[in-house]
Amino acid sequence: MAGADWPLAEVLSIREELDKSMHYYVHYIGYNKRLDEWVTPVRIDFTKISLPKSKNALKEMTVTTPLAVTASRPSSPDISAPATPESWVQQTSTPTSTRENGSLALKGRKRPLKMENEDSQDSAKTPHPTTPLQVPRPSGSGSLVAHNDSDIITRMKNIEMVELGRHRIKPWYFSPYPQEMVNSCIYLCEFCLKYVKSRKCLQRHLQKCTLKHPPGNEIYRKETISFFEIDGRKNKTYAQNLCLLAKCFLDHKTLYYDTEPFLFYVMTEHDAKGFHIVGYFSKEKESSEDYNVACILTLPSYQRRGYGKLLIEFSYELSKFEGKTGSPEKPLSDLGLLSYRSYWAEAILEILINMKPSEHGGDERPQITINEICEMTSVKKEDVISTLTYLNLINYYKGQYIITLTQEVIEAYDRAAAKRKIRIDSKCLHWTPKDWSKRGR
Ligand code: ACO
Ligand code: ZN
């Protein structure tokens, strides 16, 4: 029976099963889309349906028009909306569309670029041309147009399962794999990320594929953790396959075909069988907005074990080598914001807590400027200020900003630092930044 706490949900699609039972694809309003799912009628309270207001509502209802219902809550909403949402954080409810008279009105999505086929996979077909192969492109390029009616399709998860090495992973969002691959399990070669339709095809591929690590240069290794730098121009197929996989877990980025303007930093864990992908981030070769990360992902099987913060730490280590400050591309996802906030807080507190008393001796408090914190961490000024403000450490006093560290904050930092077992060791990074403006991409 429906309870009072059943959340409102939008029905995005309805399908009839072979046994004639109806299944409903629902989005829980106010929850992240990764919780969207097919439910049976027992999960829906049909006494609380509100129909779309459009005149053509009934005609449209089957597929294109969302219908509001209340449905029993997803079993474990893994995260609530961020406590203090900021303008650059992805909003959890209906992020890409607003409803007008019951139909979807679409806002500010960029048009996918023309498909580039020259480097496509050999046996699997390329994604169908109406769906963008979702590869990021630097902001500022590409045109802004209203989205077409395929939006309802891209709002729904289309892949049942991804098998990657020893992991079977349930995708969170739509990803534009070719039409013939969808609604079933996709099998990926864990080293070159080629996708095929069946385990048999994968076995055939594995007999031929000699790769035991991502392509590109290994630029970091410490114990079992390595980072490979992959040029989106030189290893286009790999980069595109990586983006297709990543799109299964990234909802909020506008994504494009073109991988050339990006470098991809793939983090792996090494064992006797090879270098297994754990996560990655992409980075524009040249960013006019000082972005040092475009998209970042820890594969779900490895999440919540500190790898996300390791990827973030690595991205700032690269910025340190470049002598620049950097920031992640906006908007951040809910989990992205949590991870960045946690990383920034630790990186800044590490400096503040380890500061020596003022050189002038006496009772003087240690002094540091925001710019010095930026230089030491490579964290961009606005992120340093937002973190200090979020932690409630910054006060304006007699014309000056004063940072006050409470015992509580110091203890929280100590606990977090003790929890963080793996860290990036700059001595293990063998990398020279390139000036892409001089080289051509
Ligand atoms: N619920 C609550 N807190 C969480 C969750 C969760 N599901 N996942 C991570 N966190 C918190 C952790 O508690 C940790 O904070 P703490 O150290 O202060 O406790 C912090 O986030 C980072 O945790 P990690 O274990 O280091 O991060 P993880 O390996 O899980 O990766 C990431 C984080 C990359 C954001 C991962 O969740 C992910 O890949 N999500 C899907 C893709 C995505 O949203 N990427 C970011 C988009 S923004 C951008 O691309 C610029
Ligand atoms: Zn392979």
Q: Which residue CA neighbors atom 22 of ligand 1 most closely?
A: 339
C-alpha distances in Å from residue 128, one per residue of 13, 122, 154, 298, 329: 21, 15, 13, 27, 28
Residue nearest to atom 48 of ligand 1 (CA): 332
Q: Is residue 254 lining ligand 1, measured as CB closer than 6 Å?
A: no
What does the alpha-carbon distance between residue 59 and residue 66 come to, in Å, rounded to a whole number? 12
Return all residues near 254 (Cβ < 8 A) that are at least 6 apart. Answer: 109, 110, 136, 142
Instruction: Quote the crossing angle between the two packed helices 307-322 and 334-353, to the nearest 10°.
Output: 60
pLDDT at 72: 72
Q: Tell whether ligand 1 has an atom less than 6 A from the beta carbon of residue 300.
A: no
Ligand nearest to the CA of 282: 1
Report the atom number in ligand 1 closest to the C-alpha of 332: 48
Q: Closest ligand 1 atom to the C-alpha of 298? A: 39
249 Cβ closer than 6 Å to some ligand 1 atom: yes
How far does Cα 208 stand from its chain's mean position?
32
Residues forming beta bridges with residue 282, ordered by sequence position: 264
Tokens of 325: 């400050």
| Cα–ligand 1 centroid distance for 210 (angstroms) | 32
> Which residue lies with its CA nearest to atom 17 of ligand 1?
342
* Residue nearest ligand 1's atom 36 by CA: 298
Long-range CB contacts (within 8 A, 24+) of 26-31: 26/69, 26/71, 27/66, 27/94, 27/155, 28/71, 28/73, 28/74, 28/77, 29/68, 29/93, 29/94, 30/81, 30/92, 30/93, 31/7, 31/74, 31/77, 31/92, 31/93
Out of 339, 340, 350, 421, mutate this one to test ligand 1's pocket (max ligand atoms within 8 Å of CB): namely 339
Cβ of 255 below 6 Å from ligand 1: no
Q: Which atom of ligand 1 is nearest to the CA of 297?
A: 39
Pocket test for ligand 1, best of 338, 340, 341 (most atoms within 8 A of CB): 338
Return the ligand 1 atom nearest residue 305 CA.
25
Using DSSP, how many helices (H) and how many strands (E) does the chain show? 10, 22
List average pLDDT for each run of 10 residues in the chain, which is 441 residues long.
Answer: 74 91 92 93 87 55 52 51 36 32 23 28 35 30 30 89 97 92 92 97 97 98 98 95 94 76 97 98 96 97 97 98 96 96 97 78 76 97 95 86 88 92 96 86 58
Distance CA(85)–CA(32), nearest Å, equals 14
C-alpha 241 to ligand 2 mean position (Å)? 11
Give the closest ligand to the alpha carbon of residue 194. 2
Longest CA pairwise span in the chain (Å): 83
- The ligand minimizing its distance to the Cα of 302 is 1
Ligand 1, atom 14, lies closest to the CA of 339
Give CA–CA dist 138/127, Å, rounded: 22
Instruction: Please give the distance, rounded to the nearest whole angstrom, from the Cα atom of residue 90 to the centre of ligand 1.
Output: 14
pLDDT for position 87: 36
Q: Which two tokens stand for residue 356?
A: 């020596």
CA separation for the pair 125, 180 (Å, rounded): 8
pLDDT of residue 362: 58
pTM of the model: 0.82
Q: Which residues surround ligand 2, an ion (CB under 5 A)?
A: 189, 192, 194, 209
- Residue pair 340/331 in contact (Cβ under 8 Å)? The answer is no
Active site residue 375: no
Q: Which ligand is nearest to the CA of 306?
A: 1
**What backbone phi and psi angles, to 5 degrees, belong to 154?**
-75, -10
The tokens for 365 are 């408090």
How far, in Å, CA of 352 to CA of 406, rounded?
12
Query: Within a 10 A sphere around the Cβ of 68, how many other Cβ atoms?
Result: 16
Cβ pair 99, 52 in contact under 8 A: yes
Tell me, using a 6 A CB cutoff, whether residue 335 lines ligand 1: yes
> Of 79, 301, 303, which is best to mutate to test ligand 1, by the most ligand atoms within 8 angstroms of its C-beta?
303
Of all protein residues, the one whose alpha carbon is nearest to atom 13 of ligand 1 is 304
- Ligand having the closest approach to the CA of 237: 2
* pLDDT score at 73: 59
- Token pair 């991409």 is found at 441
Q: Tokens for 3, please give them.
A: 């309870």
Q: Is the CB of 283 under 6 A from ligand 1?
A: no
Q: How many CB atoms lie within 10 A of CB 13?
A: 17
Find the 335 Cα to ligand 1 centroid distance in Å.
5
Q: How many CB atoms sit inside 10 A of residue 205's CB?
A: 18
Q: Is residue 307 in contact with ligand 1, taking CB distance under 6 Å?
A: yes
pLDDT score recorded for residue 90 = 43
Q: Which of 190, 229, 317, 329 is catalytic?
A: 329
Choose among 217, 237, 136: nearest CA to 434: 217
